[in-house]
Structure 1
């Protein structure tokens, strides 16, 4: 099955909206003057970044506002994240956020009232993946990944772990094995409920993986809304961005069960 970003719009399953994923490509370099829509905290962080990192940071902060605006029907200028890590919205309140960026593409996941994590990687990125598996993966994961000897399978497993750690609010150090990816992508985590889900798809030459938590009423099977937005303008104007057509290829969707 192949989808288009124009085939989907945010909807609800039960009483809880399903997550959305918003994508955009980075536009050139950062302007010489910081946009006036940045918060004080964001301006402080921007001032300490290299030119390349500044453009990446601005793109992600611009995308947050566009994503919140589309998801909540509030103007982009009235949307901003909490200080520090952009894991929730400050205005409008109640939205959970997750950011990922790689090789000029940025992704922002949004979901109202419940946690989520998103990770993107170029679909051809898998240098020395065996060393990563030996050092950080569980014996069960090492066994089947080395038997498969497929760098794409490693990339799927790696992005699942990254998205899981973002969704559960933890860093990589000491936590990569809190989600175990078994053969055929059976997923087992350390969270005490059974409401966690994961899905992965290819788009724009990238693998995008989403982990999210929803209530018991949500049924596995519906995919998140996936929207590619036009890149920000040279001056990073906050006017509403138009949607662009993008095709995506779903890979898998799984429930994450409690590891025993």
Structure 2
């Protein structure tokens, strides 16, 4: 099993960390940002800038929780933050929704996170008819359950992130059947999915492991207005992953 090269001891289970964005209307650009991050955040303003800065704070906290290294010593790669630069060997997936940021971290590749408010997609039937498989359309429309739709939607989003693909043309590469058995288009083993509810959000993670292993994580107290990385950040609520399924090769 791959680990880090930093000498920090990794958690073997993937973890997911959430945080609310600060309520301040404007946030400073902290000194710990990389040059790439400074250039990127300068292109944003308002809520988009606040989201970006908050997520960069969370990424460092998430890597720190996984690697047991101080958050200030953690750094993602430039561009899409799918891995760590410091300490090396960590794989990441980021999600935002409704003023909440989430970051999943794993010491193995193949990880995808999606979080959605439980009340999102009031007209979900249109999405099902346009983008889902015929099997999914039949049972979801017959059940008429927004909760079932939302779980299927987050599973598909997390699957595409974990396998490195976008939504366009790929939503049917994971099929969810009426008993919530999962079938993907990958033939390597160990793919699995887990989800749980926290603070009005459904949080879904897709990841790859050689054996059954439930994720951990929780909701962190959000960053202060100065985005301080040195303060001790308590976990306000644990994230209960109460639902879990393997992802089988498609047939």
| TM-score with structure 1 setting the length | 0.89
Using a 3 Å threshold, how does the CA distance of structure 1 residues 237 and 245 change in structure 2: closer, same or farther? closer
Partner Cα separation in structure 1 for residue 127 and residue 160 of structure 2 = 17
Q: State the match for 2:41 in structure 1.
A: 46
Match of 1:228 among 201, 219, 226: 219
Query: What is the DSSP-based 3-state SS (H/G/I as helix, E as strand, rest coil) of the residue aligned with 1:28?
Result: coil
1:199 and 2:194 are equivalent in the alignment: yes
Q: State the match for 2:86 in structure 1.
A: 91
Q: State the match for 1:143 in structure 2.
A: 138
- Compute the displacement of 1:50 (Å): 2.4
The one-character-per-residue Cα deviations of 1:137-174 (angstroms, maximum 9, x if unpaired) are 01011000001100110000000000001101110011
Partner Cα separation in structure 2 for residue 112 and residue 92 of structure 1 = 11
1:24 and 2:15 are equivalent in the alignment: no
- Compute the displacement of 1:122 (Å): 0.6
- Compute the displacement of 1:243 (Å): 2.0
Contact residue 10 and residue 67 of structure 2 kept, 8 A: no
Partner Cα separation in structure 1 for residue 155 and residue 234 of structure 2 = 27
Partner Cα separation in structure 1 for residue 90 and residue 231 of structure 2 = 19
Partner Cα separation in structure 2 for residue 211 and residue 157 of structure 1 = 12
1:115 and 2:110 are equivalent in the alignment: yes
1:173 and 2:168 are equivalent in the alignment: yes
- Compute the displacement of 1:81 (Å): 0.6
The one-character-per-residue Cα deviations of 1:96-124 (angstroms, maximum 9, x if unpaired) are 00111111111110000222111101111
Partner Cα separation in structure 2 for residue 108 and residue 171 of structure 1 = 18
Partner Cα separation in structure 2 for residue 29 and residue 242 of structure 1 = 18
Contact residue 140 and residue 149 of structure 2 kept, 8 A: yes
Partner Cα separation in structure 2 for residue 32 and residue 126 of structure 1 = 30
Runs of 4+ in 1 over 3 A off after TM superposition: 29-33, 247-251
- Compute the displacement of 1:208 (Å): 0.3
The one-character-per-residue Cα deviations of 1:70-108 (angstroms, maximum 9, x if unpaired) are 211222111111111011111111100011111111111
Partner Cα separation in structure 2 for residue 42 and residue 204 of structure 1 = 29
Using a 3 Å threshold, how does the CA distance of structure 1 residues 11 and 78 change in structure 2: closer, same or farther? closer
- Compute the displacement of 1:249 (Å): 5.0
Query: What is the DSSP-based 3-state SS (H/G/I as helix, E as strand, rest coil) of the residue aligned with 1:246?
Result: strand
- Compute the displacement of 1:126 (Å): 2.4
Gaps of 5+ in 1: 1-9
- Compute the displacement of 1:35 (Å): 0.8
Measured on the aligned residues, the alpha-carbon RMSD in Å equals: 1.7
